[in-house]
Structure 1
């Protein structure tokens, strides 16, 4: 997984990129949790998401938001981080301009950024949102949510209340033409400390189903 440095809105951004194994490979962008809570692209969940997309033949990028690791700039409360994510997607698409489909996956703060990016980029056809912080940030921008995806939550999450996530899921499910899957992992805390296999099984089962039908 080669280290890459690419231009962002506030200077260089640092990432790890696995190019697609074939022309027209689909693209996946993975977003990490809150920089001020120690979130980086080396977060365990982010790395697992990265590996699962790589295994499936996606051109896959995870990167550090501004001010994290070797990425330049300073934390910007989500506004600048959304610009970083858009720049990261631009960069991958410049390498794979013929990509047939684009996915976004994010954990916690990264899920919030990912779902905002979804609203701005019609080429994103699927999303994986793990523990989206629906009790901390406003998700009303998802009106309407443009793509189908899955929201995964631990039922013992001490940071993001499961009831807030359930409310978000219920709201998104009222829309037509998209399908929102929702998995709850029993006993899992916010970081899925002991439930990583169950979390990744949920992700993999969903991708198996979606990629089979999308073909």
Structure 2
């Protein structure tokens, strides 16, 4: 599937539940393109495969300059436009409930998803997996008043556990967060576990909308 973002075309892929209906949807933002991140990432795929089993559609896409997507890497700034374009695309798709739209970002994808969720009213739920955020990003999180779920592995070398826990204490409700024992930043062998936690958050959240 391709969808427009300004004057470029981006590549994406749908994961629909087997049933017919008016589904909630989650757009999934992949890790850092300059370190091999794309929409075929192990965590991205695990989440996209888990959601439809619980009657939630998932849409993964390549940021600009990745795979078949046009344009060039934008340092996480222009990528925010890619997320907004994905939200426009999924919200206008038949079989999707435009009032129940969520976003999940993994690693670099979290740093792109968060500012979009703050600005874009269409985002009703936000999940951040192993979020690599500058201090300003954690400050942004304090301003995000809708339901949010964050998770890291306790072996993640990019995100010091004590700092993560402190940031989460400082983040206002509604929030959920979880530390997964044994997992590092890349989640090898823990994909199903993290996908299950993320999926449960969205299922519960969408059920309340």
User: TM-score scaled to structure 1, two decimals?
Assistant: 0.86
Alpha-carbon separation, structure 2, partners of 1:68 and 1:10: 16
Alpha-carbon separation, structure 1, partners of 2:90 and 2:202: 21
Alignment of 1:142-161 (within 5 A): 142-161=141-160
Deviations 1:144-196 (A, max 9, x none): 213112100011101222233223312213xxxx4111100112110111322
Alpha-carbon separation, structure 2, partners of 1:202 and 1:60: 15
Whose RCO is larger (CA < 8 A, sep 6+)? 2
Moved more, 95-104 or 82-91: 95-104
Partner of 1:12: 9
Query: Alpha carbons of 1:164 and 1:198: their partners in 2 closer, same or farther (altered >3 Å)?
Result: same
**SS state of the match for residue 143, structure 2?**
coil
Is structure 2 residue 88 aligned with structure 1 residue 90?
yes
Unaligned runs of 5+ in 2: none
Alpha-carbon separation, structure 1, partners of 2:145 and 2:58: 22
User: Do 1:40 and 1:68's aligned partners in 2 also have CA atoms closer than 8 Å?
Assistant: yes
Moved more, 122-131 or 68-77: 122-131
Partner of 2:194: 199
Partner of 2:103: 104
User: Do 1:10 and 1:73's aligned partners in 2 also have CA atoms closer than 8 Å?
Assistant: no
CA RMSD across the alignment: 2.2
Paired residues, what number?
Answer: 207
Partner of 1:33: 31
Alpha-carbon separation, structure 2, partners of 1:143 and 1:189: 25
Alpha-carbon separation, structure 2, partners of 1:82 and 1:98: 22
Give 1:211 deviation, angstroms.
4.2
User: Do 1:132 and 1:165's aligned partners in 2 also have CA atoms closer than 8 Å?
Assistant: no
User: Do 2:127 and 2:198's aligned partners in 1 also have CA atoms closer than 8 Å?
Assistant: yes
Is structure 2 residue 179 aligned with structure 1 residue 184?
yes
